[in-house]
């Protein structure tokens, strides 16, 4: 697991919490913010974006990952996820994050900016299906 200072962890949590204010969550009323730090040190934020056709909605974590990948970043160090109650990433987000490394640190925080859990993608998704499973 990547070792983070308390200051770095809190800065990412604060960025995710600030991003959460821009979430589009008119149906669930459950705004989520994410801040993803790539191996380059660059940080990508994301928010959940809901849609009246529910299955087309997108989670904050995946928005951050897709922004990073669209900018050429494929290695991630840490992602902070903030919800009102400190909810953990969903299964789809865990799977997407696992594509880029099971060692990525995951910080889960509540709406007050308090760290609720520090873990890794691998710990959130044991037995992850990945590129190695597609090799002939």
Which residues are identified as catalytic?
61
Residue with tokens 């996820």: 81
What are the phi and psi torsion angles at 72 (to 5°)?
A: 95, 5
62, 33 Cβ separation under 8 angstroms? no
Cα 49 to Cα 23, 53, 55, 69, 104: the distances in Å are 6, 11, 11, 18, 23
Taking the mean position of all CA atoms in its chain, how far away is CA 101?
13
> 22: which 2 tokens?
């821009």
* CA–CA separation, 107 and 14 (whole Å): 11
């Amino acid at each position: 697991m990547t070792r983070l200072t308390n200051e770095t962890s809190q800065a990412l949590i604060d960025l995710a919490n600030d991003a959460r204010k821009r979430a589009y969550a008119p149906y669930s009323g459950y705004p989520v913010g994410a801040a993803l730090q790539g191996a380059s040190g660059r940080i990508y934020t994301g928010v959940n974006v809901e849609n009246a056709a529910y299955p087309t909605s997108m989670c904050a974590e995946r928005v951050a990952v897709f922004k990073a990948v669209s900018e050429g970043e494929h290695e991630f160090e840490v992602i902070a996820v903030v919800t009102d109650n400190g909810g953990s990433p969903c299964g789809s987000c865990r799977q997407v994050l696992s594509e880029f490394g099971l060692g990525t640190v995951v910080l889960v925080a509540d709406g007050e900016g308090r760290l609720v859990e520090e873990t890794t993608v691998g710990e959130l998704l044991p037995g992850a299906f990945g590129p190695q499973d597609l090799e002939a």
